[in-house]
């Protein structure tokens, strides 16, 4: 099992990244929550990892925090939830937001994630409630002070980052562009790509 990777970030095309570890490049898939925390290309990065072994491939998933990896491992234990869906869920909402969503039985909040239908959302809530008891309230529910990739970015940069994230979540490029444009038109004050993505997802769920 590969538990952690430390090396040079050489490529970043969400959700795929490349990390050069002493001349060996590891290809990892990461959630957008981790993408927001990544350094620039050519800089050192440390990621906690989870290796999925299949008959046709070995897939390595990377996470900025142990909390993200723990949640990913809990999610893939849920019936019908594979690594791709778990990654999409972590890309669409922060760990603390997912915890709140499960605890208040917010099915609509989960179904706004691409690929998560009502039955899957209901199964997630039922099966994850017991697993989240292990977290014991240790999850920090406040997001204040969290680093933001969108801080100080131009509207064009915000749009590009947000569209890339939505495409990584499974939306078609044209649809992602339309969703982001609608949110920016209604909320021109937004300056964080994370909030822009969440607003776009909420608007999609409400439409």
Looking at per-residue confidence, does 201 or 177 come out higher? 177
User: Domains, the chain, ranges and CATH?
Assistant: 4-63 (2.40.50.140), 67-135 (1.10.150.20), 155-206 (1.10.8.10)
35 touches 14 (CB < 8 A): yes
Query: For residue 63, what is the enclosing H or E element?
Result: strand 58-63
pLDDT for res 59? 93
| CA dihedral sign, ordered 11, 170, 89, 192 | positive
pLDDT for res 182? 87
Q: How confident is the model at residue 191 (pLDDT cuts 50, 70, 90)?
A: confident
C-alpha span between 178 and 141 (Å, rounded):
31
Cis amide bond preceding 58, omega within 30: no
Q: What is the mean pLDDT of residues 85-106?
A: 88
- The residues pairing with 99 across neighbouring beta strands, listed in sequence order, are none
pLDDT for res 144? 35
In sequence order, which ranges of the chain are alpha helices (DSSP H)? 32-35, 66-75, 83-92, 95-103, 107-111, 118-132, 155-169, 173-186, 193-206
pLDDT for res 50? 96
State both tokens at 147: 């680093």
Q: What share of the chain is helix, strand, coil (3-state, %, to 5)?
A: 50, 20, 35
pLDDT per position as a tens digit, 3-35: 999 999 999 988 899 999 999 999 999 998 898
| Window from 87-91, 112-116, 148-152, 159-163 with minimum mean pLDDT | 148-152
pLDDT for res 16? 92
C-alpha span between 107 and 98 (Å, rounded):
11
pLDDT for res 207? 58
C-alpha span between 27 and 29 (Å, rounded):
7
Q: What is the mean pLDDT of residues 189-204?
A: 75
C-alpha span between 127 and 204 (Å, rounded):
26
pLDDT per position as a tens digit, 30-80: 998 898 889 999 999 999 999 998 888 899 999 999 999 999 999 999 988
Burial class (CB in 10 A: 0-12, 13-18, 19+), 164: buried
pLDDT at 198 over 60: yes
pLDDT for res 2? 86
pLDDT per position as a tens digit, 134-177: 664 444 333 333 333 434 456 777 787 778 777 776 777 888 88
pTM for the structure as a whole: 0.69
């Amino acid at each position: 099992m590969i538990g952690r990777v430390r090396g040079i970030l050489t490529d970043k095309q969400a959700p795929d990244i490349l990390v050069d570890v002493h001349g060996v490049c590891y290809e990892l898939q990461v959630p957008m929550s981790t993408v927001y925390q990544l350094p620039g290309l050519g800089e050192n990065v440390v990621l906690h990892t989870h290796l999925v072994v299949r008959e046709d491939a070995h897939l390595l998933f990377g996470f900025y925090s142990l909390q993200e990896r723990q949640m990913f491992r809990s999610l893939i234990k849920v019936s019908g939830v594979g690594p791709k869906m778990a990654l999409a869920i972590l890309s669409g909402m922060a760990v603390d937001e997912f915890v709140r969503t499960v605890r208040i039985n917010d099915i609509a909040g989960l179904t706004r994630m691409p690929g998560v239908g009502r039955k899957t959302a209901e199964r997630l809530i039922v099966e994850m409630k017991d697993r989240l008891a292990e977290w014991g309230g240790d999850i920090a529910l406040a997001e204040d002070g969290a680093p933001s990739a969108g801080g100080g970015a131009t509207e064009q940069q915000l749009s590009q980052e947000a569209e890339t994230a939505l495409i990584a979540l499974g939306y078609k490029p044209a649809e992602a562009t339309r969703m982001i444009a609608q949110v920016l038109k209604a909320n021109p004050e937004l300056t964080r790509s994370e909030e822009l993505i969440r607003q776009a997802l909420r608007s999609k769920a409400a439409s």
